[in-house]
Structure 1
Amino acid sequence: MPAWLTFVDNTDGTANLVGIPDFGGAPSYSFTVTATNGIAPDATQTFILFVDNPPPAIISADNTTFVIGTFTSFTVRTSPPVPSATVSFTGTLPSGINFTPNGDGTATIDGTALAGSAGSFPINITASNGTLPDATQLFTITVQDAPPVLEAPAITSADSTTFTMGTAGTFTITATGSPTPTLELAGAQPAWLSFVDNTDGTATISGTPDSGSDLSYDFIITARNGVSPVATQDFTLRVTPTPATAALVNVSTRLLVQTGSKVGIGGFIITGPDPKKVLIRGIGPTLTNFGIANALQDPVLELHDGTGAVLTSNDDWKVPQQAAIEATALAPPDDRESAILLSLQPGNYTVIQSGKNGTIGVGLIEVYDVDVLSASQLSNISTRGLVQSGNNVMIGGFVVSGASGSINLVVRALGPTLTSFGVANALGDPTLQLYDGNGTVIASNNNWKDSQQTEIHNSGRQPPNDLESAIAVTASPGHYTAIVRGNNGGTGIALVEVYQVSGF
Structure 2
Amino acid sequence: MKKFVFARVLLCTLLTAGVAPLAARAAAGDLYDGGLNALAIYKFNSAGTRTVFKSGTYIDWLAFDSKGNLFAAAPSDNVIVKITPTGVQTNFATGITPAGIAFDAVGNLFAINTAGAGSIVKYTPSGTMTTFVSSLGGGAPTGLAFDSNGTLYVSFSGNNTMGSGSIAKFAPNGTKSPVASGLFLPAGLTVDGANNLYVADVGSGSIFRFTPTGTKTTFTSGLNGPRSLAFDTNWVLYAGEFGSHDIVKFPGGVKTAFSHDDTFIGGLAFEPPTAQLANISTRASVQTGQRVTIAGFIVTGTDAKPVLVRGLGPTLGQPPFNIAGVLQDPTLDLHDTASSIMMNDDWQSAANHNQIPANLQPPDSRESAILITLQPGNYTAIMAGKNGTTGIGLVEVYDM
TM-score (norm 1): 0.29
Q: Which has the higher contact order (CA 8 A, sep 6+)?
A: 2
TM-score (norm 2): 0.37
Pair member with larger Rg: 1
